[in-house]
Structure 1
Amino acid sequence: MHKVSVIIPVYNVEKYICECLESVMAQTLSTGIECILVDDRGNDASMEAARKCIAGYSGPIKFQLVVRAENGGLSAARNTGINNAKGEYVYFLDSDDIITPDCLNLLVERASEYPDAEIVCGDFQTFPQKDVHKLISLQGKNFPESSFDKSWIRSVFLSSFPVIAWNKLIRTDFIRRNNLYFREGILHEDDHWHAQAYRHVSGLAFVNKVTYLYRMRPGSITMSDGVEERRLENMTLIFSEMFAKEVEWDKPWSDWILKSVGSLRYIGNKANIKEKAEHCVSQLLPTVYKNQSAPFILRLLFKYYFHNGVIFSSRLFYKLYAIYWKYKG
């Protein structure tokens, strides 16, 4: 059995795929690695470039090419990789990014020290320009080397723990046992996966070193023009599914709800689609009202109506308040 299955979804990255694969081939961890490339049916020569790159490799890493029947997006490609993985852990690597030579060695060493941790997380750096993304970086967070304290894990998992799927060793049986596959057909699949995992994770470990280099490029999904409206729609879908779950609404979960509604407001304001954001929020909150107490709901309403100036309209505020009385009055 392999120790790590590196899963690389491949879609229209002809220019970058060889650099990505070469970073895998350069790993100092010399045994126990398989690398699964999932062809998501792009329209360039990415897979031809990948095959040429692999053909010149004679090292110990086993490369496997899996061809999907049709394009399904990042989530579908990752799920295909999970279904084909034979490793104890999976490691997601985007095909336009690269990993440091000691990446897998550092993460596997930490996993060996804490075998009950379901997720082992390293740090990352953007390139070619260096930038710090505090929300998804380990920098300045002073996380312990590991934790199995349920209260601590829940206090950070939805707030300051990196939400991205890449640059983490994740136990394969943890994914399969809890059906933690990626929701297909949406943007922000990592947010959806992360919220699902919240109820199941019981152990985390950290490597406070840069092990992953994230490429900043204009053509990527997250940096494409006109993506904000679709982002708003997808986040609304994710939140509606998560809000409707019949789970314990503990403080971290409730705080995440507040943060989530606020993120819709932020996206709407940033992209000048305020009315659409208002509509999304009015769709979401009835689900919140059914699950939460009046003090929490009023806190939510006033927090996001008055916070940093009036973003939503007075019309929306009274509409939401009327819905509140429908469910709580």
Structure 2
Amino acid sequence: MNKSWLSVLIPVYNVRPFLAECLASVLQDGIEGVEVLMLEDCSTDGSDRLAAELAARHAPQVQLLRHAQNGGLSAARNTLLDAAQGDYVWFLDSDDLLLPGSVRDLQACLERFQAPDLVLCDFRTVRERFQLKHRLRGELHFHTFAGPPRTRLSDRAALLRGAFDRGHLHSWSKIARRELWEGLRFPVGRYFEDMATTPALLLRARSYVYMDSVWVGYRQRAGSILASNTVRKVDDMMAALAPVPALLAAQLPSLGAETDFAAGYYAAKTFVTACRFEGRRGDPARLAQHLQSFEAMSPLAPAAVVAGCRARGWWWRALRVGYWLGRATAASKAS
């Protein structure tokens, strides 16, 4: 492999309590040829000073970039992508961790499977207090792909289907050849940037391997972006999937019914999340807006998604989607 076979890209913003542990988790395997780029996005909690200290301590392997003004997660990731030199890129949020052996296992995967374009991995949650209920929920191992593991594959329809089935579109569980990101960047100023980019990234992969191993520790904390929803976050979530139907139709005209349904049901789950938020806010008028977004972001008509749930014996899911579909339709007629 080349001198820099992997770039680990870490945006940094107000994560001082977690940053040193995050970086240590990347460096712990001591693998050569791994560059680590941190982007300091104008933190206000001292993360900037700590990032500078860590970069100086681990130079030249660790490099620190800076934004002149805060640009948000998407802008930070885009700057990191522009600076990356590795054959592969792996995003890691600065409050998360790589599990021991993850980089070594990735290196072995690339060698064993003749350097596929994309590697997908699993993750677990990291909590200050990990209780029995969290273990029972399966938080020690979340699977990100529904498909055969540890096999080099090339069926992109199956790749999309497997990713949508599991519903984990985050970038940090997808290690991709850097060339797959050429011309593809995160939408600046918007939340749920992973949902907006991952489908396009998957469609670019000519080969992929799913490693059913936990490589990432995803930290649950109150201050994270996904800890609570707001109107803006919900709107960004609904907008993120809007390009998906046209993207799928343009690049893979014959995805197949199962892949269309997987994407449609993922859109339906997103729709239900948005509607439940509006239900708690007591703003039924916005349900009509979300119905329009659902129709735009699903390869299947909403009624067809409900019918597909019933055909699979998913009665509770069909009821849940159908309930909010009915309320949103009524709100649309009343507006």
What is the aligned partner in structure 1 of residue 313 from structure 2? none
What is the aligned partner in structure 2 of residue 283 from structure 1? 292
Deviations 1:197-250 (A, max 9, x none): 2432232213332222221111111114xx242232012212323345453373
1:222 aligns with 2:231: no
Selected match of 2:260 from 243, 253, 264:
253
Specify whether residues 12 and 139 from structure 1 end up closer, same or farther in structure 2 by C-alpha distance, changes over 3 A only: closer
Residues 243, 288 of structure 1: 8 Å contact kept: yes
Partner secondary structure for residue 202 of structure 1: coil
Residues 10, 38 of structure 2: 8 Å contact kept: yes
In the TM superposition, what is the alpha-carbon distance from 1:46 to its structure 2 partner? 0.4
Residues 301, 317 of structure 1: 8 Å contact kept: no
CA distance in 2, matches of 1:285, 1:94: 29
Aligned AA (1:316)? T
1:189 aligns with 2:193: yes
Specify whether residues 279 and 302 from structure 1 end up closer, same or farther in structure 2 by C-alpha distance, changes over 3 A only: farther
Q: 1:1-329 counterparts in 2 under 5 A?
A: 1-29=3-31, 31-57=32-58, 62-128=61-127, 129-130=129-130, 131=134, 137-138=142-143, 143-150=148-155, 151-160=157-166, 162-176=168-182, 179-224=183-228, 227-245=229-247, 247=250, 248=253, 250=255, 251=257, 252-270=259-277, 272-273=280-281, 275=284, 277-284=286-293, 287=296, 296=301, 298-300=303-305, 307-308=319-320, 310-313=323-326, 316-317=329-330, 319=332
List alignment gaps of at least 5 residues for structure 1: 323-329
Partner secondary structure for residue 64 of structure 1: strand
Partner secondary structure for residue 166 of structure 2: coil
When structure 1 is superposed on structure 2, of 207-216 and 262-271 the one drifting more is 262-271
In the TM superposition, what is the alpha-carbon distance from 1:57 to its structure 2 partner? 3.7
In the TM superposition, what is the alpha-carbon distance from 1:116 to its structure 2 partner? 4.5
In the TM superposition, what is the alpha-carbon distance from 1:297 to its structure 2 partner? 5.6
What is the aligned partner in structure 2 of residue 327 from structure 1? none
Residues 8, 36 of structure 2: 8 Å contact kept: yes
In the TM superposition, what is the alpha-carbon distance from 1:303 to its structure 2 partner? 7.5
List alignment gaps of at least 5 residues for structure 2: 310-316
Specify whether residues 49 and 158 from structure 1 end up closer, same or farther in structure 2 by C-alpha distance, changes over 3 A only: same
Deviations 1:110-144 (A, max 9, x none): 0122235221122222113444567x922895632
CA distance in 1, matches of 2:188, 2:124: 27
CA distance in 2, matches of 1:21, 1:262: 34
Partner secondary structure for residue 16 of structure 1: helix
In the TM superposition, what is the alpha-carbon distance from 1:301 to its structure 2 partner? 7.0
Aligned AA (1:35)? V
When structure 1 is superposed on structure 2, of 311-320 and 92-101 the one drifting more is 311-320
Residues 110, 206 of structure 1: 8 Å contact kept: no
TM-score normalised by the chain length of structure 1:
0.81
Aligned AA (2:39)? V
TM-score normalised by the chain length of structure 2:
0.80
